[in-house]
Amino acid sequence: AQSVTQLDSHVSVSEGTPVLLRCNYSSSYSPSLFWYVQHPNKGLQLLLKYTSAATLVKGINGFEAEFKKSETSFHLTKPSAHMSDAAEYFCVVRSNSNSGYALNFGKGTSLLVTP
Amino acid sequence: DVKVTQSSRYLVKRTGEKVFLECVQDMDHENMFWYRQDPGLGLRLIYFSYDVKMKEKGDIPEGYSVSREKKERFSLILESASTNQTSMYLCASSLSRWQGPNQPQHFGDGTRLSIL
């Protein structure tokens, strides 16, 4: 079964400094991977997805993620944090069980951005 | 843009009540999903549907049922609500099971349900 592990439950950065949110995946074949963001009291919004076309994936709001098969990682980065980036971030892998194209979510990383 | 609308943002019900959570999407998506979200656990799939009148169990279906009588509407039913079903419930939709594994899911804003 496919699964993801988000290595940090909370990350705190200062505004203007780089962001790194770590995610490792487990999959027996080439996975479909996503990052979603959830702002307070809102639903989830897709940041980016890995489609196997390129290992470096660019998403919205300046975020990007790099797929590293040798490390089974799909870390999310942003060069310079903004206050509006404060949110919960979920690394997600497509399930290949009876759930078909349903998604398996990591437990989430809460990003705090301080002035 | 895809719009997924959940009928209630906040809901308070009593133990033993039958509870209905409604979800509507406006983009003619075939796939619809219900998740619950709990702190420290991420999102867990309750039920999903690939077509009208079709339903499949997810990872935690116990205590829940679903109904999909129309393509745009997917209802989650708590047959007899219990306090351990207090949670945030999120509905999602995606285009079609035939579009491949990389299609994203579009989420509603969630319903925060409290069972007293």
Q: What mean pLDDT is predicted for residues B7-25? A: 96
User: Residues of B numbered 36-75 whose beta carbons fall under 8 angstroms of chain A's beta carbons: which are they?
Assistant: 40-45, 48, 50, 56-59
Instruction: For residue A33, give the chain B residue with the closest CA.
Output: B102
pLDDT of residue B114: 97
Q: Is the pLDDT score of A108 beyond 60?
A: yes
Q: How far apart (Å, rounded) are the C-alpha atoms in residues B20 and B66?
A: 9
Q: Is the pLDDT score of A101 beyond 80?
A: no
Q: How far apart (Å, rounded) are the C-alpha atoms in residues A10 and A88?
A: 9
| Pick from B45, B90, B104: CB nearest A34 | B104
User: Residues of A numbered 22-61 whose beta carbons fall under 8 angstroms of chain B's beta carbons: which are they?
Assistant: 32, 34, 36, 41-46, 49-51
Instruction: For residue A96, give the chain B residue with the closest CA.
Output: B101
What is the four-CA torsion angle of A106, B33, B79, B17, rounded to 10 degrees? Answer: 80
Average pLDDT, chain B: 91
Q: Are the beta carbons of A101 and B101 separated by less than 8 Å?
A: yes
CA distances from B16 to A2, B80, B114 (A): 36, 4, 13
Q: How close A101 comes to chain B (CA, Å)?
A: 6
pLDDT of residue B111: 95
Q: Is the pLDDT score of B115 beyond 70?
A: yes
Give burial (CB, 10 Å; 0-12/13-18/19+) of A5: middle
pLDDT of residue A52: 75
Q: Are the beta carbons of A32 and B104 separated by less than 8 Å?
A: no
What is the total residue count of chain A? Answer: 115
Q: What mean pLDDT is predicted for residues B52-66? A: 93
Tokens of A15: 């505004």
Residues of chain A contacting residue B105, judged by C-beta atoms under 8 Å apart? 44, 46, 103
Q: What mean pLDDT is predicted for residues A4-26? A: 96
Q: What mean pLDDT is predicted for residues A68-85? A: 95
| Pick from A34, A90, A101: CB nearest B97 | A101
Q: How far apart (Å, rounded) are the C-alpha atoms in residues B79 and B16?
A: 8
Q: What mean pLDDT is predicted for residues A28-35? A: 83
Q: Is the pLDDT score of A22 beyond 90?
A: yes
Q: Is the pLDDT score of A97 beyond 60?
A: no
